[in-house]
Homo-oligomer: A and B are copies of this chain.
Amino acid sequence: MRDVAIIGVSQTKFGELWDISFRDMIVEAGMGSLKDANIEGKDLEAMYVGNMSAGLFVQQEHISSLIADHTGLVPIPCARVEAACASGGLALRNGIIAVASGYHDFVIAAGVEKMTDVVDPTPAIATASDQEWEAQQGVTFPSLYAMIAQRHMYEYGTTREQLAMFSVVNHKNGAKNPLAQFPFEVTVEQVLKSSTVADPLTLLDCSPISDGAAAIVLCPADMAKKYTDTPVYVKASTQASGTIALHDRKNLTTIDATVNAARNAYDMAGVGPKDIDAVEVHDCFSINGILAIEDLGFVEKGKGGVAVEEGMTELDGDLPVNPSGGLKSRGHPLGATGIAQAVEMVWQLRGEAGKRQIAGTEIGMTHNIGGTGGTAAVHILSV
């Protein structure tokens, strides 16, 4: 198995991008990553693109061909990979596997989602849950995560304010990210007073509906220095499945897929939670950010809320979480998120993260989830 490096990254602005189409977003991100990698399209050998549901959002399946075509990269192979909101994480993982295998040397792993071209994106998003046991019964993602939040508060005494603090820290970081959808700060009071979506979650606990794309150029680790002075190395790339429906879980407050993917990632990289300098976690809702820092092993189960309240996750805390602003502030174009997380971590590892730079970042982690944890993908990257 060959070691793999990241030599180029790029992300579009995330937001309601009315003036840029699905196909143009992915071109912008892809071309940006090639430029950053100092290579040209003709050097590329394959592409993996994470996308949850162009079929339901823009009535376009077969985006692999569309993207190869629209980027002028025909005839190289392009594969769309999908696992709901973890689609980007899977695109990265399968791009890494393709390079590791020797099948291809230069590979783009990208992600893209255009969510604002439909009047109501909720039915499309709900297809990430179990259609027969959840979506068809009227359950939506805010309601599923609200149940998780209720249970976490009941079992561990997590407070409403601690949940809100997760959003506050995200926005504090996102305010320093020019590509974020909502680059401004919010207060705990604002989070608490925003409209209730599904009790206890309010609007400012919830990640937004977003358009956006991001892309990463991968190559064999031993070739990386020819193209960049600051290669970032893939130390681990793992994925695990969990039950798709929430009612099949042993308990609501642990996401087993995260636990399993993280354990395998630590094993693969030969590091532990204490070695991680910064992490991008999948905070589709504030409660999921708190579950993540517990399930990834950074704090004991049930102590996530307290850790956030005490400042552990801030940029200058013991474990900075979501320097990009996370899904909440940077935005959450579903299939792009897993890639954007890794893009941010590459910027942090290179020391190119501007006002949100975390000093001395040498090992970073990304954590990307599909649905309520039916899928989790974890990556560990290092300088």
Q: A residues near B, CB below 8 A?
A: 1, 52-53, 55-56, 58-62, 64-66, 68-69, 73-84, 90, 93-94, 97-98, 100-103, 123-124, 127-131, 135-136, 238-245, 248, 256-257, 260, 370-371, 374-375
- From B94, B123, B127, contact of A94 by CB (8 A): B94
Min CB distance A47 to B, Å, is 9
Whether A69 touches B374, Cβ cut-off 8 Å, given contacts A62-B128, A82-B80, is: yes
CA distance A243 to B374 in the complex (A): 34
> Which residues of the partner chain B approach A242 to less than 8 Å between Cβ atoms?
65, 69, 74-75
* CB pair A127 B374 closer than 8 Å: no
> Which residues of the partner chain B approach A65 to less than 8 Å between Cβ atoms?
83-84, 241-244, 370-371, 374-375
CA distance A351 to B375 in the complex (A): 39
Min CB distance A376 to B, Å, is 9
> Which residues of the partner chain B approach A98 to less than 8 Å between Cβ atoms?
97, 101
CA distance A55 to B13 in the complex (A): 27
Min CB distance A213 to B, Å, is 17
> Which residues of the partner chain B approach A240 to less than 8 Å between Cβ atoms?
75-77
CA distance A371 to B90 in the complex (A): 24
CA distance A80 to B129 in the complex (A): 15
> Which residues of the partner chain B approach A84 to less than 8 Å between Cβ atoms?
61-62, 65
> Which residues of the partner chain B approach A371 to less than 8 Å between Cβ atoms?
62, 65
> Which residues of the partner chain B approach A131 to less than 8 Å between Cβ atoms?
58-60
Whether A69 touches B243, Cβ cut-off 8 Å, given contacts A61-B53, A62-B127, is: yes
Min CB distance A234 to B, Å, is 12
Min CB distance A127 to B, Å, is 4
> Which residues of the partner chain B approach A127 to less than 8 Å between Cβ atoms?
55, 59-62
CA distance A1 to B103 in the complex (A): 7
- From B58, B97, B128, contact of A101 by CB (8 A): B97
CA distance A81 to B61 in the complex (A): 11
* CB pair B82 A256 closer than 8 Å: no
Chain B residue nearest to A238 (CB atoms) is: B77
- From B53, B103, B238, B244, contact of A66 by CB (8 A): B244
